[in-house]
């Protein structure tokens, strides 16, 4: 996707800036954006290391299995087809936990594992199964407890209260999640 978008963005910008007389701004913009990328990465370095470290501790404790138990009713409701597929359910709940804790980088590898397990039970190998549909939509819904990346950015931009967005994020995520799950339940029934 970015192999197409990236060059289009750059070429269009240069052409447009020449037409509109903004070429000087674009020239300074190039170098400003480089230092912005460096600054942001340095802030990221701190937060991502913190959460990876904390998550590593969580992995060594019984918290993970406790959360698994907590998620069971949701998983049974969302994935009725996986009734006897304990392996898939376990992997899905690990993926959800990583998502909930805002660890996108941990969530994706776990999610791919879950997809592979579900694919084994999938009857038509080129078409998404019902459970896979639901699983992907939930992963696009960004269900997370602490939006760590956004908080990191707000902190780096000197916000007076970087964490003030947590509750609005919760409400918006829940609404988006409901819409996604509802539509997917319809699609599962209507589209074969």
Partner 1 sequence: MANVINYISNLAIPTIIVTIIFYGLKEKAKVFDTFLDGAKEGMEIVFKMFPTLLGIFLAVGMLRTSGLIDGIVNLITPFTDFLEIPSNILPLTVLRPISGSASMAVAVDIMQNYGVDTLTGIITSTIMGSTETTFYTIAIYTSAVGIKKTRGILIAALAADVAGMLASTVICRILS
Q: Does 121 bind partner 1 (CB under 8 A)?
A: no
116 near partner 1 (CB under 8 A): yes
CB within 8 Å of 52: residues ≥ 6 apart: 103, 106
44 contacts partner 1 (rule: CB under 8 A): yes
- Burial class of residue 99 in the structure, from the number of CB atoms within 10 Å of its CB (0-12 exposed, 13-18 middle, 19+ buried): buried
Q: Which stretch binds partner 1 (CB under 8 A): 38-46, 70-78, 83-91?
A: 38-46
Contact call for residue 97 and partner 1 (CB under 8 A): no
With CB under 8 A, what is the number of residues at the site for partner 1?
A: 102
13-51: buried (b, 16+ CB within 10 Å) or exposed (e) per residue? eeeebeeeeeeeeeeeeeeeeeeeeeeeeeeeeebbeeb
Per CB under 8 A, which region of 51-59, 70-78, 79-87 contacts partner 1?
51-59
71 is a contact residue toward partner 1 (CB under 8 A)? no
152, two tokens:
């990191």
Q: Which of residues 132-191 bind partner 1 (CB under 8 A)?
A: 132-133, 135-137, 139-142, 144-147, 149-151, 153-154, 157-169, 171-173, 175-180, 183-184, 187-188, 191
Q: Do residues 98 and 142 lie in contact, with contact meaning Cβ atoms separated by under 8 Å?
A: no
| Cβ proximity of 96 and 138 under 8 Å | yes
Q: Which stretch binds partner 1 (CB under 8 A): 55-63, 70-78, 83-91?
A: 55-63
């Amino acid at each position: 996707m970015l192999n197409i978008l990236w060059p289009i963005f750059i070429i269009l910008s240069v052409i447009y800036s020449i037409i509109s007389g903004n070429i000087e701004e674009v020239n300074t913009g190039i170098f400003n954006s480089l230092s912005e990328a460096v600054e942001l990465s340095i802030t990221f370095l701190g937060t991502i290391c913190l959460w990876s470290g904390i998550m590593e501790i969580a992995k060594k404790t019984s918290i993970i299995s406790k959360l698994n138990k907590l998620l069971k009713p949701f998983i049974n409701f969302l994935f009725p087809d996986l009734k006897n597929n304990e392996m898939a359910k376990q992997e899905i709940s690990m993926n959800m936990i990583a998502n909930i804790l805002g660890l996108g980088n941990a969530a994706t590898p776990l999610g791919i594992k879950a997809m592979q397990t579900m694919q084994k039970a999938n009857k038509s190998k080129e078409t998404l199964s019902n459970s896979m549909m639901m699983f992907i939509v939930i992963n696009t819904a960004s269900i997370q407890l602490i939006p760590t990346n956004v908080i990191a950015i707000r902190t780096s931009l000197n916000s007076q209260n970087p964490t003030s967005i947590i509750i609005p994020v919760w409400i918006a995520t829940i609404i988006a999640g409901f819409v996604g799950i509802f539509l997917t339940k319809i699609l599962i029934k209507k589209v074969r």
